[in-house]
């Protein structure tokens, strides 16, 4: 169940993110396949090796970040190079203690404010989708609202299921049918290139968002459920998985946070010592979903105007709410956090570097200045 919910609730965001940084439809489909299989295999490896219900997921906030980043100098090959660098940084976080401490030193308020600014652009897709195509988007929104009230865990998957029905009706009305070759799994290997814009504008923000919004909360969630995640092997496995998936277009995998509770919580069984089997089942299902992901990518590509953006926005509303809460929770950091939020939400790119990076710079510098003045006063 963990794998199914995690996949259906956010794969549209992953496709949008990969396309935004320059992937063709075939390359985006390959990236979805690669990252899905990578997180499935990593879940199985970690669960079997540790006998703990450790679940690996793709970086949904990272995919959202890519949507706001856009194409950097060097295009898609530079983005693939950035994904590879991200995997190296994640692995090094497990191997080099001071790097882990440096990540922990980044103010949570600033990191979450940057993420919230990026997410805002995606969440507005619900509003713009309704305005552009109300007949197609309204059913998706209505189902999401009803599910949020009756079965919150399944709100995003049910919204996508509704979108799939809307797309099927649209295809029937227009007479458009995908070719059989578009429904079969395929991979597109890209030779990575390394550019300053790619590393600074994609790799560093992607790494920071993945660590601050996925890996660190994932450890906390597991601790709350009574499990201690082995930090070093988890970072090494997810970093290696990211590096292996990168040439195929996969952006990043990490320790699951929200969906981790499905495999590690009471719903996975009363015997805590056997809950790791739920992670193995989840990983196996993800591998199967990865193999079939090309068909889903094709389906999304044929969607009527506004539907895909609305599904992505609905899937991220909860993450946006959590990010805003974390960004504004500390009263002393609210002004720097709001400044970081505004810069990230602006979508500007300076010197070919995305707004996400500049949001971190502005937020951290402003925080240092304001806290310095307060101490001096």
Q: Round to whole Å and give the CA distance between 23 and 222.
A: 34
Helices (H), the chain: 2-20, 25-50, 60-69, 75-95, 97-105, 108-132, 134-150, 155-174, 180-183, 196-198, 204-210, 216-224, 231-245, 260-264, 276-291, 293-301, 307-328, 334-346, 355-376
CB 256 within 8 A of CB 55: yes
**Which residues does residue 255 pair with via DSSP β-bridges, in sequence order?**
56
Which three-class secondary structure state does DSSP give residue 254?
A: strand
Cα of first residue to Cα of last residue in the chain, in angstroms, is 54
Q: What span, in angstroms and rounded, lies between the C-alpha atoms of 377 and 375? A: 5
pLDDT for res 166 = 92
Q: How far is CA 32 from CA 56, 94, 98, 161, in A?
A: 15, 25, 32, 18
Q: So what's the pLDDT on residue 150?
A: 92
Look at the block and give the residue holding tokens 């396309």: 19
Cα 329 versus chain centre, distance? 23
CA atoms within 13 A on the CB side of 360: 22
What local confidence, expressed as pLDDT, does residue 258 receive? 66
pLDDT tens per residue, range 301-329: 888 888 988 888 888 888 888 889 988 99
Predicted local distance difference test score (pLDDT) of residue 265: 63
Integer Rg of the chain from CA: 20
Query: Rounded CA gap, 21 and 75, in Å?
Result: 7
Burial group, residue 189, by CB count within 10 angstroms (0-12, 13-18, 19+): exposed
Six-digit token string for 18: 């990969």
3-state secondary structure 351-369: CCECHHHHHHHHHHHHHHH
pTM of the model: 0.81
Handedness of CA 118, 101, 219, 328 (dihedral sign): negative
* Closest listed residue to residue 90, CA positions, set 187, 215, 176, 267: 215
Which of the residues in the chain have pLDDT under 50?
377
Contact 34, 88 (CB under 8 A): no
Rounded CA gap, 292 and 280, in Å?
19
What phi and psi values does residue 209 have, to the nearest 5 degrees? -65, -40
Q: How far is residue 229 from each of residues 31, 37, 44, 220, 274, measured CA to CA in Å?
A: 27, 22, 15, 9, 16
């Amino acid at each position: 169940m963990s794998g199914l919910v995690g996949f259906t609730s956010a794969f549209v965001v992953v496709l949008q993110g990969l396309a935004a940084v320059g992937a063709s439809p075939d390359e985006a489909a390959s990236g979805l396949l690669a990252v899905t299989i990578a997180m499935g295999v990593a879940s199985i490896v970690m669960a079997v090796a540790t006998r703990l219900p450790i679940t690996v997921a793709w970086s949904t906030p990272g995919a959202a970040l890519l949507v706001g980043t856009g194409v950097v100098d060097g295009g898609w090959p530079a983005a693939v190079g950035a994904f590879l660098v991200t995997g190296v940084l994640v692995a090094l976080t497990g191997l080099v203690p001071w790097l882990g401490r440096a990540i922990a030193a980044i103010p949570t308020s600033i990191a979450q404010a940057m993420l919230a600014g990026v997410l805002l652009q995606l969440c507005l897709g619900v509003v713009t989708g309704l305005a552009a195509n109300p007949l197609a988007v309204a059913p998706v929104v209505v189902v999401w609202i009803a599910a949020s009230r009756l079965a919150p865990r399944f709100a995003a998957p049910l919204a996508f299921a509704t979108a799939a029905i809307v797309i099927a009706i649209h295809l029937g009305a227009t007479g458009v049918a995908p070719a059989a070759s578009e429904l079969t799994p395929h991979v597109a290997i890209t030779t990575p290139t390394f550019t300053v814009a790619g590393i600074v504008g994609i790799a560093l923000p992607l790494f920071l968002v993945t660590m601050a919004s996925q890996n660190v909360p994932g450890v906390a969630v597991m601790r709350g459920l009574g499990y201690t995640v082995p930090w070093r092997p988890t970072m090494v496995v997810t970093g290696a998985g990211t590096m292996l998936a990168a040439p195929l277009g996969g952006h990043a995998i990490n320790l699951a946070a929200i969906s981790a509770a499905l495999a590690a919580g009471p719903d996975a069984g009363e015997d805590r010592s056997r809950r790791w089997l739920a992670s193995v089942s989840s990983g196996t299902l993800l591998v199967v979903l990865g193999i079939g992901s090309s068909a889903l990518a094709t389906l999304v590509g044929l969607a009527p105007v506004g539907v895909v953006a609305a599904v992505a926005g609905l899937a991220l509303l909860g993450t946006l709410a959590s990010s805003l809460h974390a960004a504004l929770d500390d009263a002393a950091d609210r002004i720097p956090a709001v400044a970081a939020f505004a810069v990230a939400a602006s979508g500007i790119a300076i010197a070919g570097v995305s707004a996400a990076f500049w949001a971190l710079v502005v937020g951290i510098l402003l925080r240092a200045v304001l806290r310095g003045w307060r101490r001096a006063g």
